[in-house]
């Protein structure tokens, strides 16, 4: 089995890199002229008839350059729900879309049209008011829609599972591009900056964290490309692969950006440097949709219940219900609402939870209670009750 890119995919990668370096803020019409908006759209609908693997090449490069536009919201989120005539409009560059898949809608200021989940279907939203919110990441805007009426029915709610899988894989690929670009900045600086008569990259305190960052980027990219292949081939493990890729790549991008900022010192967090924008995009990817913690819980549930692989999030449904028939559109819509409610609960609790703090050690992030007793190394100690101690309830 050959996991390398084909010559055509390599050519697409080179074209994307060269174009995005020369055009840092391309328009939707320019992307359509290159054929990027119709990569996976069938040829009879005006597309190239390729697969999600080719789109994966573009997502990674668009993430690397912090592209600000509706490509993610159109191609990753909404495209699977569009009928043939609307896909043709996307391929030609006549329309771009976004999907109100959660409380915050991405690319709301650049997408032409909005789709919304309602009941057992996905509909075009007509006459709604849009409000773009001020967020940390200015390279990908988020907003909310208010009012409006459901218009044309686009597809059944059964498309939501595939949409979520595609979006997670796309975000993982973007995170790989972000992490790669941050690492390039750090390596370039460490290779040119001199201190005490040596390049700072010669010091282990700089080179070892960068080596760890490189490992994280490469492992994340392997997972993300596996997820892209699963999506392109409709593999049953696609949801599991996408969840693993998104949870791993997003956290890796955040840590790599933090390492790069530390390597560059004071320059790394200046407004003029690109690193803070990469860091904010990485944080945005990590916080978008289902949290990494919940994704890992779904992966664990799928591994513990092999019959449920391919449908993360349904692992706690009664077994007789799962074995009886596939989930209906109404059940998937209910699942979507339930997961949004859980996401709101997590947001209300905060991350990390109130009364705790995050501590970074050896490249890992630990969450520990505030005020916990500490050893000589500053690590939180557990309180252990002596086995012969009296319990609070004893007289």
Q: What is the pLDDT of residues 192-244, one digit of tens each?
A: 988 898 998 899 999 999 999 999 999 999 999 999 999 999 999 999 999 99
- pTM reported for the whole predicted model: 0.79
pLDDT confidence tier of residue 304, bands split at 50, 70 and 90: confident
Pair of tokens at residue 94: 């006549």
Beta-carbon contacts of residue 346 (< 8 Å; ≥ 6 apart): 291, 294
- Average pLDDT (165-194) is 96
Report the relative pairing of strands 149-156 and 121-126 from DSSP bridges: antiparallel
pLDDT in tens, 277-302: 999 999 999 999 888 999 999 899 88
pLDDT in tens, 75-101: 999 999 999 999 999 999 999 999 998
Cα–Cα distances in Å, from 122 out to 126, 162, 343? 13, 13, 21
pLDDT of residue 266: 80
How many whole angstroms separate alpha carbon 322 and alpha carbon 17?
45
- 256, pLDDT greater than 80: yes
pLDDT of residue 334: 59
pLDDT of residue 351: 47
pLDDT of residue 308: 53
Q: How many CB atoms lie within 10 A of CB 158?
A: 18
Domain 161-317+325-346 adopts which CATH fold? Butyryl-CoA Dehydrogenase, subunit A; domain 3 (1.20.140)
Question: Could you tell me the maximum CA-CA distance found in the chain, to the nearest angstrom?
Answer: 82
pLDDT in tens, 2-55: 668 899 999 999 999 999 999 989 999 999 999 999 999 999 999 999 999 999
Beta-carbon contacts of residue 3 (< 8 Å; ≥ 6 apart): 225
Which of 234, 230, 275 lies closest to 257, judged by CA? 275
Report the relative pairing of strands 142-146 and 105-106 from DSSP bridges: antiparallel
């Amino acid at each position: 089995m050959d996991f390398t890119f084909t010559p055509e995919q390599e050519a697409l990668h080179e074209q994307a890199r060269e174009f995005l370096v020369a055009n840092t803020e391309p328009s939707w019409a320019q992307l359509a002229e290159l054929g990027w908006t119709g990569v996976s759209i069938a040829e009879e609908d005006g597309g190239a008839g390729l697969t999600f693997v080719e789109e994966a090449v573009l997502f990674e490069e668009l993430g690397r350059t912090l592209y600000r536009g509706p490509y993610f919201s159109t191609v990753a989120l909404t495209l699977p729900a569009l009928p043939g005539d609307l896909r043709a409009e996307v391929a030609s560059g006549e329309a771009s879309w976004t999907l109100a898949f959660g409380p915050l809608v991405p690319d709301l200021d650049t997408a032409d049209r909005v789709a919304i989940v309602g009941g057992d279907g996905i509909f075009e939203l007509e006459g709604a008011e849009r409000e773009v919110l001020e967020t940390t990441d200015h390279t990908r805007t988020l907003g909310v829609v208010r009012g409006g009426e459901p218009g044309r029915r686009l597809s059944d709610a059964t498309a939501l599972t595939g949409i979520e899988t595609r979006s997670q894989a796309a975000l993982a690929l973007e995170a790989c591009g972000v992490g790669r670009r941050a690492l390039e900045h750090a390596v370039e600086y460490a290779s040119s900056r001199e201190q005490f008569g040596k390049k700072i990259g010669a010091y282990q305190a700089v080179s070892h964290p960068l080596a760890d960052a490189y490992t994280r980027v490469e492992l994340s990219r392997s997972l993300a490309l596996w997820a892209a292949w699963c999506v392109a081939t409709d593999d049953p493990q696609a949801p599991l692969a996408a969840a693993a890729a998104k949870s791993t790549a997003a956290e890796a991008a955040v840590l790599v950006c933090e390492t790069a900022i530390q390597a560059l010192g004071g320059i790394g967090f200046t407004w003029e440097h690109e690193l803070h924008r990469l860091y904010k995009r990485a944080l945005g990817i990590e916080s978008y949709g289902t949290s990494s913690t919940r994704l890992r819980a779904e992966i664990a549930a799928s591994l513990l219940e092999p019959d449920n692989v391919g449908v993360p999030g349904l692992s706690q449904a009664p077994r007789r219900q799962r074995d009886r028939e596939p989930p209906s559109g109404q059940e998937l819509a209910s699942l979507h609402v339930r997961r949004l409610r859980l996401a709101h609960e997590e947001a209300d609790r905060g991350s990390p939870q109130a009364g705790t703090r995050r501590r970074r050690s050896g490249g890992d992030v630990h969450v520990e209670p505030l005020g916990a007793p500490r050893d000589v190394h500053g690590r939180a100690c557990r309180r252990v009750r002596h086995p012969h101690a009296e319990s609070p309830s004893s007289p």
